Amino acid sequence: MQLLDIERRSDINAAVAVGQPGSGAARRVFIETYGCQMNVSDTELMMGVLKKAGFRRALALEDADVVLLNTCAIRERAEERVVGRLSQLSRVKRARPDLVLGVSGCMAKHLAEQLLDRLPYVDLVVGPDSYRRLPELIGEAAGNPALDVRLDRGEDYLELDPVRQEGTNAWITIMRGCDKFCTFCIVPYVRGRERSVPAGDLLRQVRLAASEGFQEVTLLGQTVNSYHDGESDFADLLKMVARVEGIRRIRFTSPHPSDFSDKLIGTIAEESKICRFIHLPVQSGSDRVLEAMKRTYSSGRYVDLVDRLRSAVPGLCLSTDVIVGFPGEDDSDFESTMALMRHVRYDSAFMFKYSPRKGTVAYREIPDTVPETEKSRRLQAVIAQQTGISGEINRRYVGRMQEVLVEGDARRGKGQAVGKSDGFKTVVFPRDGIRTNTFVDIRITDATSHTLIGRPEN
């Protein structure tokens, strides 16, 4: 999964309203989402479950009777943020004791009972495989704290329709869980075993999204390209999705480098609706570290895959995830990561300091040897190098045309609109009455390491 930086992503607020049918006083829910796109998608799923049970929407936290934090456990910092937020919300609860305060998602599974023991004002703890039971659990939480964090390898939330947030992209979760067990990663423990949603149900969801006006879908899974429903593999699924009328752009995240077949590369090359952008997490450029991480590929095989992708798909944009300071990583390992990134020249990268996660193999078996100050130094160095490369790549777009799907007003800059290019570049341009969710041709006039700037041109 392409991890959206938790720090930046945590401001995504999803509001659902809930109310009991015929109960007069409607109960309303507000959900705050942390972590990756999978959680954004799960928040929409929870909204769907709650709506079906007759609950209604709270537009602001102050109006809610139930507040859920849909949480992430990927790094320690992600959990600390949620604990901080919960302690803020405990003050709201003191003023309004009837407020139900719940924790869902990966941290709910990771800490489970500990959350209820440590934070007595939490009423509800619900793990990623128990969202069907949400209405029931909210009911139970009115008396005693309710907890359900069982993992269920059969749960694929078939036949549940999400209530999508506003926007121009529809998230479609095509597989859940992960079987890779990279030694640093908590995901297999909090999300359980890998399972794929049958293609028929996914196509129904894509058609529904298209009928709601979405022209772009993003297929989601922790190792999205290991999708297999018994009949169709990921390449087959992409082809089927490409045939859905109304869908003009298809994205997916995150593929695992070891599961990238030639068939899949061929499909991406052939299908023009599949965007020319791939997030391909590398984690490290050192073979020794990749081995200790159990990533199942070498830097050579990874670079070979990049070469095959680039020759099959001209103009392909690439991003990645990198961890610095993995236990045992020395200067030369780190330099290998820097060198690999200079060689591949990613369009962008998400870069993280290693964070030991209780329950993982690395936590149990490999001492966290790299001092915090050294982790910080490496992180700064890798970010500085990548910022330079991203800037150089983006500046080459100046003068070129880009087809942009308009997402809405730009956050900064009055009268400016923002959208994404096929290659997933953020493009900012004068709004000039251009409607959201339309495609517009933009002439690029300037660029930074994060953004392309331009103006519409017919």
Name the site residues for ligand F3S (rule: CB under 6 A): 3, 35-36, 38-39, 72-74, 105-106, 186-187, 190-191
Among the listed ranges 122-130, 131-139, 351-359, 394-402, the one in contact with ligand SAH (CB under 6 A) is 351-359
Does position 321 bind ligand SAH by CB under 6 A? yes
Residue with tokens 């490496």: 378
Closest CA to 370 of 303, 296, 286: 286
- Tell which one of 30, 354, 424, 429 touches ligand SAH (CB under 6 A): 354
C-alpha to C-alpha distance for 250 and 277, rounded to whole angstroms: 10
Phi, psi of 231 (to 5 degrees): -120, -50
How far apart (Å, rounded) are the C-alpha atoms in residues 76 and 80?
A: 6
Task: Enumerate residues 6+ apart whose C-beta is below 8 A from 211.
Answer: 246
75 contact, one of ligand F3S, ligand SF4, ligand SAH, none, CB 5-8 Å limit per kind: ligand SAH
| Neighbour count for residue 168 (Cβ, 10 Å) | 18
**116 touches ligand SF4 by CB under 6 A:** no
**292 is a site residue for ligand SAH (CB under 6 A):** no
Residue 12, classed as helix, strand or coil, is coil
Helix, strand or coil, per DSSP, at residue 250: strand
The residue (of 3 and 217) whose beta carbon lies closer to ligand SAH is 3
Which of 256, 273, 279, 357 binds ligand SF4 (CB under 6 A)? It is 256
Q: Which helix (H) or strand (E) holds 406?
A: strand 401-409
Asked if 323 touches ligand SAH (CB under 6 A), the answer is yes
Q: Per the structure block, which two tokens stand in for 290?
A: 């990749």
Angle of helix 234-242 relative to helix 262-270, nearest 10 degrees, comes to 10
Separation of alpha carbons 147 and 136, rounded Å: 11
Minimum distance from residue 177 beta carbon to ligand F3S (Å)? 9
Residue 145 beta carbon to ligand SF4: minimum distance, rounded to whole angstroms: 29
Question: Are 430 and 418 within 8 A, CB to CB?
Answer: no
Among 162, 281, 285, 419, binds ligand SAH (CB under 6 A): 281
181 binds ligand SF4 (CB under 6 A): yes
- Which among ligand SAH, ligand SF4, ligand F3S, none contacts residue 241 (Cβ within 5 to 8 A by kind)? none
For the CB of residue 78, give the shortest distance to ligand F3S in the complex, in Å: 6
Q: Which residue number, 191 or 431, has a Cβ lying nearer to ligand F3S?
A: 191
From ligand SF4, ligand F3S, ligand SAH, none, interface partner of 188 (C-beta below 5 to 8 A by class): ligand SF4
Min dist. Cβ of residue 188 to ligand SF4 (A):
5
Give the distance, in angstroms, between the CA of residue 412 and the centroid of all CA atoms in the same chain.
Answer: 23
**How far is it between the farthest Cα atoms of the chain?**
67
Q: Which does 354 bind (CB under 5 to 8 A by kind): ligand SF4, ligand F3S, ligand SAH, none?
A: ligand SAH
Q: Which does 39 bind (CB under 5 to 8 A by kind): ligand SAH, ligand F3S, ligand SF4, none?
A: ligand F3S
Is the CB of 127 or the CB of 255 nearer to ligand SAH? 255
C-alpha span between 205 and 298 (Å, rounded): 37
| Residue 390 binds to ligand SF4 (criterion: CB under 6 A) | no
Residue 62 CB neighbours (<10 A): 9
* Chain position carrying tokens 């909210």: 138
CA distance 77 to 445: 38
Q: With the C-alpha atoms ordered 174, 177, 182, 185, is the resulting torsion angle positive or negative?
A: positive
Of 74 and 237, CB closest to ligand F3S: 74
85 in contact with ligand SF4 (CB under 6 A): no
Residue numbers at the binding site for ligand SAH (CB under 6 A): 1, 3, 74-75, 184-185, 187, 222-223, 254, 256, 281, 283, 321, 323, 352, 354-355, 357
